[in-house]
Amino acid sequence: MAQHRKSVLGRLDWLTVLLVFLLVGTGIMAVYTSEYTSFSEPFFDMQRSHMKQLMFFGISCFIGLVIIFTDSKLFFSLANLSYLFGILLLLVTFVVGGEVKGSHSFIKLGSFTFQPGEACKIFTALCLARFLAAADTKFNTLRHRLIAAGIVLLPCLLIILQNETGLALVYFAFFFPMYREGLPNSILLIGITSVVLFLSSLLVERLPLFIAITVVALLSVWVLWRQIQKQKAVILFIVGAWLIAVTFSQLIVPYVFKNVFKGYQVERIYSMLGQDVPLEFQKPGQLAGKDADYNVRQSKIAIGSGGLTGKGIMNGTQTKYSFVPEQHTDFVFCGIGEQFGFIGSTLLVLLYLALMLRILFIAERQRSTFSRVYAYSVASILFFHFAINLSMTMGLAPVIGITLPMLSYGGTSLMSFSILLAIMLRLDADRHILIR
């Protein structure tokens, strides 16, 4: 074990660092090019977004370095305390919180706005990791499972109350590490299935969806044929699942949309997906084919117009001329899609996948459960941000304000991800030590 003798920097996982730096670089470039109008504007202008983002990056690097040079045991010991601190911050926000775009999740300190919910992800990850790593935790018992769920859902609930649904949704990422530590398969299966089913019953026509569900059911019969022969209940389970899925997508969703929801509610749901309300769900008197949500429509146009190879750097007409709202923050991906096309966008997706899989790999090589759970949490949070943000910009998921990690403009987001990753890297540097 020669690694013990190396310095902490030598033991750092530089591949992860490289991937993160690549992403941050891409982000600064995306912010710069989407603001670019002419060369005559000074590049080094601190008022401009890309320079601010560079500054945030510098600060993040500094914070990261500080974390790297601390003791890895510090995080274990501070986990519960930080969690309590986080919850307190969330509660304080209710009292002193300012309002930004209808959400009450910000604390203002002078010119600096701070979102406790963002930081609380780190604290929750640490706390959950410590709980699952504790010697007396028996995660196969319902009691401990409920406690773990409680740790996650408490901040989630508070954030929902602050009207920041998007951020709250990210807390469901913690079910991945819990699953890894022993939550039953069925929970993951049911969770994913219902999300997919809900979105697809809105996005896909009814007949193809019916066919798809049936095909999936028949496939699972074929895959599980041996078990079915052993146990007749399995076929009942599959048929039941199929029935539920079909009833939900073919009967319940259309019924609710037609008879329960008001016209504006249907409209809002579809417009969050950037879709026009289908004819069958249009109420009498409602304008046919009303324009879908402007943001998503513009975002789809920007990405779609990129084509295979893109319009070329700084030639993105849609982003450059501000057709896409919030193109520095939540819709930063539009700039990539438009300027670099399908090839560039795919590369970016691959870059993210590489980072997340690398983190999973790191997670699995940890000696201590604490580090593993924490790393899983980091990967899952990244995944949720990545999946939801990109789906949203492409009109696959409703528009909920959620940033693209490392790429979106904004200090809080960049710094919180930096801290999240820095802690993971610090723990990974001590992966042979049992941290508890």
Q: Residue numbers of the site for another protein (CB under 8 A)?
A: 37, 176, 179-180, 188, 192, 300-308, 317-318, 320-323, 337-338, 341-342, 345-346, 349-350, 352-353, 356-357, 360-361, 363-367, 376, 379-380, 383, 386-387, 390-391, 394, 396, 431-432
**Of the two residues 106 and 340, which places its CB atom closer to another protein in the complex?**
340
Cα–Cα distance for residue pair 28/31, rounded to 1 Å: 5
Kindly tell me which of 86 and 177 has the beta carbon lying closer to another protein: 177
Q: In 3-state terms, what secondary structure has residue 105?
A: strand
List the beta strands (DSSP E) in 88-230: 98-100, 103-109, 112-114
Kindly state the smallest distance separating residue 360's Cβ from another protein, in Å. 5
Beta bridge partners of 98: 106
**How far is it, in rounded angstroms, from Cα 97 to Cα 32?**
31
- Nearest-approach distance from CB 108 to another protein, in angstroms: 29
CA dist 262 to 54, 105, 147, 281, 328, Å?
Answer: 46, 29, 38, 10, 34
State which residue, 152 or 415, has the beta carbon closest to another protein. Answer: 152
Q: What minimum distance in Å lies between the beta carbon of 376 and another protein?
A: 8
Report the alpha-carbon distance of residue 127 to residue 424 in Å, rounded.
Answer: 14
The nearest distance, CB 324 to another protein, in angstroms, is 9
Considering beta carbons, is residue 2 or 308 the nearer one to another protein? 308
Half-sphere exposure of 171 (CA within 13 A, CB side): 26
**Tokens linked to 256:** 């609710």
Of the candidates 80, 77, 65, the residue with the CA atom closest to the CA atom of residue 17? 65
Residue closer to another protein by CB (options 57, 171) is 171
Select 31 or 303, whichever has its Cβ closest to another protein.
Answer: 303
Rounded to the nearest whole angstrom, what is the least distance from the CB of residue 6 to another protein in the complex? 17
- Partners of residue 130 on adjacent β-strands: none
Least spacing, CB of residue 318 vs another protein, in Å:
5
Q: Would you state the structure tokens that stand for residue 214, as one six-digit string?
A: 């049936």
> Closer to another protein at the Cβ: 111 or 185?
185
Q: Which residues make beta-bridge pairs with 114?
A: 107
- What gap in Å lies between CA 436 and CA 430, rounded to an integer? 12
